[in-house]
A and B are shown apart, each in its own frame.
Chain A
Amino acid sequence: AQKVTQAQTEISVVEKEDVTLDCVYETRDTTYYLFWYKQPPSGELVFLIRRNSFDEQNEISGRYSWNFQKSTSSFNFTITASQVVDSAVYFCALSEDKIIFGKGTRLHILP
């Protein structure tokens, strides 16, 4: 069975600090996809990244970076030089035949 664990329920950091959101997944499939989504207070889900199971290259997009490690079944997300606008709930998700979401990490960026 597939499972996504986001152990950090809530994180607070001061603006401009770096912060890493952890995501650990379980799957028996060799082919799968991993996602990160952002859900701001307004409620909509914003797609951030998709990574397939055969591509372990780390990715950087502006202040965002992702570290995919199959050996530890982790797909961690780092925000560098955080900003107040980064405050949101962040969901990690795993897709085999359907997408399963982790419970989310609520991130507070304090001014």
Chain B
Amino acid sequence: GAVVSQHPSWVICKSGTSVKIECRSLDFQATTMFWYRQFPKQSLMLMATSNEGSKATYEQGVEKDKFLINHASLTLSTLTVTSAHPEDSSFYICSASTVWNQPQHFGDGTRLSIL
């Protein structure tokens, strides 16, 4: 089946650091990738949708300059949390699709802890 690899699986860093998370589709080409954020015991909240070669579409309330998304190829999207602060600590999870209505395949998530 389709595999999505997300790296790193967890990261701890100091406040003010920028953190990059990678999402790769290993055995298929992902036209669309999605980035979600999940706080403990809560649902997944869509942050942004990225299509290969174009700018990401951010959901209302998500700061574009804070969460930089790059989808430079059909197999790789990156999320960079810039100047991270403790309130950015969360579980970030990506998913990838060949088209918008196909079952989304999820990465294993990244646990981000900002000290």
Q: Do A and B bind each other?
A: yes
Binding site for B on A (CB under 8 A): 33, 35, 37, 42-45, 47, 50, 52, 91, 95, 97-104, 106
A103 to B103, CA, bound (A): 19
Known A43-B108, A44-B108; judge A33-B44 contact (CB<8 A).
no
Judge whether B34 and A98 touch: CB under 8 Å.
Answer: yes
B93 and A99: CB pair below 8 A? Answer: no
Closest A residue to B109 by CB, please name it.
A43
Q: Is B82's beta carbon under 8 Å from chain A?
A: no
Interface assignment of B54: CB less than 8 Å from any CB of chain A? no
Q: Which residues of A contact B106 (CB under 8 A)?
A: 37, 44-45, 47
Complex Cα distance, B9 from A89, in Å, reads 20
B34 and A99 contact, CB distance less than 8 A: yes
List 9 other contacts, CB 8 Å, given A101-B44, A106-B41: A43-B111, A45-B44, A45-B95, A47-B105, A95-B100, A98-B100, A99-B46, A99-B95, A101-B43
**B46 near A98: Cβ-Cβ < 8 Å:** yes
Chain B: residues with CB nearer than 8 A to chain A?
34, 41-46, 49, 91, 93, 95, 100-101, 103-109, 111
Contact across chains for B44 and A91 when beta carbons are under 8 A apart: yes
B112, chain A: closest CB distance, angstroms: 12
**What's the least CB distance linking B47 to chain A, in Å?**
11
* Known contacts A98-B34, A98-B49, A102-B43: A33-B109 contact under CB 8 Å: no
Q: What residues on A are CB-neighbors of B103 within 8 Å?
A: 35, 47, 50
* Distance of B88 from chain A, by nearest CB (Å): 18
